[in-house]
């Protein structure tokens, strides 16, 4: 009896081992089928995303210019005796450069268009920032009316008229428009003296 039991037990153990081995093979086959299915599903999706990114052009990444612009903002705020909290971002901007107040937070966001920013030299960058800070100053000093001329008047406390002229010329080139510098900056006193 013992022998039959042992054979039976051995036979039973063998069956269990074969069953587990078969399950293991099925599990491995299922895992590999699953892996293939996932790869076949996601690879085209990843390809499309990557392909789309390549055609979309360069992706917006934090610009090293942001630190430089922030330093200039802080310097000009000190020079213009302004205490407003102004942050900067570089992103597509139809206006090329603008500043907006973040409601209920009391801070301002200055946004530069990357292409326009790349076209500015250091004097023009300071002038563009000073002009936008002029808008911040106007907003903070009621009842002044927001105008380009007044923003430029405030800006000229820290930058020259000539640097603002260069910014406007580049701005108009980027926008495909033109304007009157005397209306925006006031009469050129140096040119009037000649």
pLDDT for 37:
52
pLDDT for 48:
40
Q: What is the mean pLDDT of the chain?
A: 77
More confident residue, 166 or 104: 166
The SS3 call for residue 187 is coil
CB burial string 113-124: b at 16+ within 10 A, e below: beebbeebeeeb
Note down the domain range covering 95: 65-193
Report the distance separating Cα 21 and Cα 162, nearest Å: 84
Report the distance separating Cα 66 and Cα 105, nearest Å: 21
- Shared domain for 36 and 91, answered yes or no, is no
Report the distance separating Cα 111 and Cα 190, nearest Å: 32
- Shared domain for 131 and 178, answered yes or no, is yes
Residue 4 has pLDDT above 60, yes or no: no
Task: Report the half-sphere exposure of 139 (CA within 13 A, side-chain side).
Answer: 19
- Shared domain for 162 and 123, answered yes or no, is yes
- Shared domain for 99 and 52, answered yes or no, is no
pTM strictly above 0.85: no
Report the distance separating Cα 90 and Cα 18, nearest Å: 65
Report the distance separating Cα 149 and Cα 179, nearest Å: 12
pLDDT for 143:
85
pLDDT for 30:
56
Q: What is the pLDDT of residues 21-69, one digit of tens each?
A: 444 455 555 556 655 654 444 444 434 433 333 344 444 444 558 999 9
Q: What is the pLDDT of residues 91-102, one digit of tens each?
A: 999 999 999 999
Residues 158 and 79: beta-carbon distance below 8 Å: yes
CATH of the domain at 71: 3.30.2010.10
- Shared domain for 46 and 74, answered yes or no, is no
Give how many domains the chain has, as a whole number: 2
Final residue before a domain boundary, out of 23, 42, 58 = 58
């Amino acid at each position: 009896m013992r022998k039959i039991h042992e054979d039976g037990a051995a036979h039973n153990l063998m069956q269990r081992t074969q069953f587990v081995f078969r399950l293991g093979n099925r599990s491995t086959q299922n895992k590999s089928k699953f892996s293939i299915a996932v790869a076949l599903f996601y690879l085209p999706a990843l390809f499309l995303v990557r392909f789309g990114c390549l055609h979309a052009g360069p992706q917006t990444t934090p610009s090293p210019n942001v630190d430089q612009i922030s330093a200039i903002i802080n310097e000009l705020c000190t020079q213009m005796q302004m205490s407003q909290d102004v942050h900067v971002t570089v992103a597509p901007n139809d206006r090329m450069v603008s500043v907006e107040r973040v409601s209920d937070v009391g801070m301002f966001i200055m946004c530069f268009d990357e292409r326009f920013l790349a076209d500015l030299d250091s004097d023009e960058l300071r002038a563009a920032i000073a002009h936008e800070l002029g808008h911040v100053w106007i907003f903070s000093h009621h009842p002044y009316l927001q105008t380009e001329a007044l923003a430029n008047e405030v800006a000229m406390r820290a930058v020259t008229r000539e640097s603002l002229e260069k910014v406007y010329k580049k701005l108009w080139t980027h926008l495909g428009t033109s304007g009157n510098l005397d209306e925006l900056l006031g009469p050129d006193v140096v040119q009037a003296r000649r």
